[in-house]
Amino acid sequence: MLSLEELRRRISSVSDMQSVVSLMKTMAAVSVRQYDAAADAMAEYDNVVSLGLHALLREHPVVPPRRAVSASSIGVVILGSDQGLCGQFNDDTVKYAAADSVVSESTDIRSVVIGARAASRLAENSRPMERRLRVPATVAEITTLLQDLMPHILAWQDDGVERIVVYFNRRESVASYVPSKLQLLPLTDEYLERCRSMKWESRSLPMLGAEWQPLFAATIRQYLFSGLFRVCAESRACENASRITAMQAAEKNIDRRLTELRSSFNTSRQTVITEELLDVVTGFEALTQSPPS
């Protein structure tokens, strides 16, 4: 049986761990709110970009022909995490990307992984990886991340890679997420048709102040930026929501461990007190006994 001093040390250590877990859960909850707000704001920006494409497609209904998309060549962006304590967050994303038929049928895969944990999972599966980027620690750092990521996407396009897909986790509810993908390029016919059919929000029709082709290219770059920003924010919100779930499970385990330790401490303390009382009583009886005649 452990001594009282050892039990005190263990109770103190577990209590400190409980405080750390509680702090991590609080910080994760704050981060979820920030990234959710960023994703919602970017959804509004997505609508502005779609309206820009709508204005361009009014002037030029037919999108310039693009090169045929090769099923054997694909650019992949995988969003994971740098930190742990978020359950199966990284495993789910990497497994979903590996199982996607778009990836499994490709012979030329160009990939960028965001997050050290996801990169290690990819390396374990012997998957190719061009570069690993750091996960943004704040909403403001998402823009910095995209400044590093966009040159890779443009380089892929210069090399003839026309299909670019992003794999990430999207929230389904407060505490759950689902692995998802977003095809950035080529623009799907459904998306272009949705842009064409949008209703202009003003009675004044838009007019182009520059040549159509440069405007279209600039709008597509904004489309890429807004799409990537939104999925980055959603991924970070999912990561922190998953971390909250993990911390809640840890809190339950810590509470159970503290209950066990305190129960053992109280039992041991009661045993020590009882033994001391017995020693006192035994000593008292020995002193008060009459000497033999």
- The answer, yes or no, to whether residue 68 has pLDDT greater than 60, is no
- The answer, yes or no, to whether residue 69 has pLDDT greater than 90, is no
Q: How far apart are CA 29 and CA 36, in angstroms?
A: 11
Buried b (16+ CB within 10 A) or exposed e, 217-242: eebbeebbbbbbbbbbbbbbbbbbbb
> Band of the pLDDT at 282, cuts 50, 70, 90?
confident
Residue with tokens 């950035």: 184
What pLDDT, on the 0 to 100 scale, is given for residue 31? 93
Report which DSSP code applies to 198: P
CA distances from residue 119 to 79, 104, 133, 150 in whole angstroms, order as listed: 9, 18, 9, 19
Q: How far apart are CA 232 and CA 225, in angstroms?
A: 11
- The answer, yes or no, to whether residue 139 has pLDDT greater than 60, is yes
Residues contacting 243, CB < 8 A, separation 6+: 24, 25, 28, 83, 85, 86, 87
CA distances from residue 162 to 51, 74, 109, 230 in whole angstroms, order as listed: 24, 7, 12, 21
- Average of pLDDT values for 206-217? 84
pLDDT digits (tens, 9 = 90+) for 237-248: 999 999 998 899
Name the percent of the chain lying above pLDDT 90: 46
pLDDT digits (tens, 9 = 90+) for 94-131: 999 988 888 877 778 899 999 999 999 888 877 778 89
Which carries the bigger pLDDT value, residue 229 or residue 63? 229
SS3 content of the chain, % helix, strand, coil (to 5): 65, 10, 25
Asked if the domains at 4-25+246-283 and 33-241 fall in one CATH topology, the answer is no
- Domain segments of the chain: what residues? 4-25+246-283, 33-241
pLDDT digits (tens, 9 = 90+) for 247-278: 999 999 999 999 999 999 999 888 888 888 88
What pLDDT, on the 0 to 100 scale, is given for residue 289? 75
55-64, 170-179, 224-233: least confidently modelled range: 55-64
Assigned architecture for domain 33-241:
3-Layer(aba) Sandwich (3.40)
103 contacts 117 by C-beta, under 8 angstroms: no
pTM: 0.82
Provide the token pair at 165.
């897909």
- The answer, yes or no, to whether residue 290 has pLDDT greater than 70, is no
What pLDDT, on the 0 to 100 scale, is given for residue 279? 82
Strand, coil or helix: 166: strand
What pLDDT, on the 0 to 100 scale, is given for residue 237? 94
CATH number of 4-25+246-283: 1.10.287.80
DSSP E strand stretches across 148-240: 164-171, 177-185
